[in-house]
Structure 1
């Protein structure tokens, strides 16, 4: 009888302890966080640039509805993306010191204005202040196959890379040279 009582007590304690410490996790984010870097080879430890950003989905909506032309856009979902340069570079032809910056854009029909900004950890572009811009450059638009999710990638070119942003059929490239 004594063995049965101790075993019952142990099982009951284990049951209540497990339930008390169970962790609830939320479902997958609708606009998951992603990262792109250059070089992208995981064997290379000396990155030049890395960007983290949210990946919104079209879900039947238009790009112009989600990122209106002529308005400052956070360039993704949730927080404004953060781009880190691990060495001094030229970004769209303008010199940029190594460091971390927020990435914002102003979409246009034939070109987008791409902004590196000092204000990190900002939700969206609601509190954007032009006075905090580090540089503004332009990237010409082109078209490609339709992408449901906003994406950023780096394309290897002589002397550097192009940061290519794509969503729906729109592509915007900005040269990053070092």
Structure 2
């Protein structure tokens, strides 16, 4: 009788251990699934965190050199934020500060040739007049003004016609870049939404 009782006890203990082992494995698999789900959620949160959530326009600066001439552009960078930019937020055929808040400023320490026209060293305002097919890039003496509120065409020192290029990559915030293309030639790039506007720049021979 005692032997029978021992056998039954052993069988019950073994069965309990097997069930416990099965439960542990199941819990481990569930933990792995939850962990994997958490990692995926964290990855998604990280991606969202990297998105541009700033509401206002950001004070920004682009600096670079073409040859031995240093060039600096100071501007406020607005975001698209799901808005219609060209022909909407930025009207066609009107002078635009090509930024936000204050006039965008362009500064260089030596004379340059911009769009084939010579311009003396100094600090200027950089405006544009966007069109559907062609833009006018404007460099104006009055760099210290709010938007284009005080813009006066009589103070223009340079006007250049350029054609915008449609880009495949969306540019959420307006961005300027100064590109050196060779020893003495380069360009000023402005990209926003789906367009790039490029103005050729070179140093004096």
Partner of 2:195: 170
* C-alpha displacement of 1:134: 0.7
Counterparts of 1:149 and 1:129, CA distance in 2: 27
Counterparts of 2:190 and 2:131, CA distance in 1: 14
The count of aligned residue pairs is 147
CA contact 1:37–1:47 (8 Å) conserved in 2: no
State whether structure 2 residue 94 is matched by structure 1 residue 71. Answer: yes
Q: 1:103-142 maps to which residues of 2 (within 5 A)?
A: 103-142=126-165
CA contact 1:111–1:172 (8 Å) conserved in 2: no
* C-alpha displacement of 1:29: 7.5
Partner of 1:157: 181
Gaps of 5+ in 1: 1-27, 41-45
State whether structure 2 residue 171 is matched by structure 1 residue 147. Answer: yes
Counterparts of 1:36 and 1:47, CA distance in 2: 14
Counterparts of 1:52 and 1:33, CA distance in 2: 8
CA contact 1:49–1:86 (8 Å) conserved in 2: yes
Partner of 2:60: 34
Counterparts of 2:82 and 2:65, CA distance in 1: 34
Larger helix percent: 2
* C-alpha displacement of 1:161: 1.2
Secondary structure in 1 aligned to 2:163?
Answer: strand
CA contact 2:71–2:178 (8 Å) conserved in 1: no
Q: TM-score by structure 2 length?
A: 0.68
Q: Deviations over 1:70-120 (max 9, x none)?
A: 000011011011100111000111100000000110001222101000112
Counterparts of 2:92 and 2:116, CA distance in 1: 23
* C-alpha displacement of 1:63: 1.4
Q: 1:71-90 maps to which residues of 2 (within 5 A)?
A: 71-90=94-113
Secondary structure in 1 aligned to 2:164?
Answer: strand
Gaps of 5+ in 2: 1-53
Partner of 1:8: none
What stretches of structure 1 move > 6 A for 4+ residues in a row? none
Partner of 1:10: none
* C-alpha displacement of 1:141: 0.8
The CA RMSD measured in Å over matched residues stands at 1.8
